[in-house]
Amino acid sequence: MGLKASSSLLCLAILLGVSSIVSSVNITRALENYPEFSTMIELLAKTELTPIINKRQTITVLALSNDAIGSISGRPEEELKNILMNHVVLDYYDELKLKALKDKSTLLTTLYQSTGLGQQQNGFLNCSKANGKIVFGSAVKGAPLTAEYITTVFRNPFNLSVVQISMPIVAPGLGAPVKVPPPPPMTSPPAPAPKKAGATPAPGPAEEEDYADAPPGAAPETAPASAPSEDGSPAPAPENAGKKKMAAADEVEPPSSASNTGLRFGGALVLGFVASFSGF
């Protein structure tokens, strides 16, 4: 008997230890290392939902970051409590299980539905796959699916899962809907860098003077090379040749005075001959 009693006590101690370990994994401890969810932890405590969540053995919390939950944090406490209960799913879902869903649309039961206050399926959520994304929304007919799955923050398989979504889900009848935030502005692609032109050598001093004297738009002229002379001496430049021609023309001697006197005497003889002929 003593051996059986000791074995029973040992099994009981193990069960108590395991149960204490399981119960120690609660929503507060799961999110305490994530400061971006500090507001949600405060609101769950304020609405007294923290102990209710921690009593559940299988549960999934759709968590909202501080920025996302700001759109509902200022609402009346009773309204806020109903909305937050709609973010507590009474089943276990993590990233693997969500991506493995074969149906295009899956109905999820929330903590709000367990209160008996649900109407027209506003205590259920619709989880669907669209355009390669996993989206959530109220199961009420016509309700939009605007909350996108972002990541799995915490997981303790088949016990507690914390899944981050992009915005709050406000089912019809639980409060005013939350507007979908506008998409971030598109940024234009950066302009391509200008191509580097090939380096050209800077003109010398003589070329700069020629460019300055030439009219705008005119290209500098280059004189053709002169052919070498037969004797091997360099041919004269065109300007020097012109000057030599002008000098040769200036060097031609004018008619001498003797030739002028001869011309005058010949003319007198002609006139005398004409006069004598006319006398006959």
CA distance 225 to 155: 92
CA distance 240 to 59: 110
pLDDT score recorded for residue 187: 59
Of the candidates 273, 267, 36, the residue with the CA atom closest to the CA atom of residue 164? 36
Annotated domain spans of the chain: 23-165
Q: Which helix (H) or strand (E) is 125 found in, with range? A: strand 124-130
Contact (Cβ atoms closer than 8 angstroms) between residue 120 and residue 128: no
Contact (Cβ atoms closer than 8 angstroms) between residue 169 and residue 145: no
pLDDT score recorded for residue 280: 46
Classify 23-165 by CATH class: mainly beta
pLDDT score recorded for residue 200: 55
pLDDT score recorded for residue 7: 54
Residues 64-88 as b or e (16 or more Cβ within 10 Å = b): bbeebbeebeebeeeebbbbbbbbb
**Which phi-psi region, left, alpha or beta, contains residue 89 (left: φ > 0; alpha: ψ -120 to 50)?**
beta
Per-10-residue mean pLDDT, the chain, length 280:
51 45 70 96 97 94 97 96 97 94 90 94 94 94 95 94 97 91 64 60 52 48 46 47 44 47 55 54
Q: Check: pTM over 0.95? Answer yes or no.
A: no
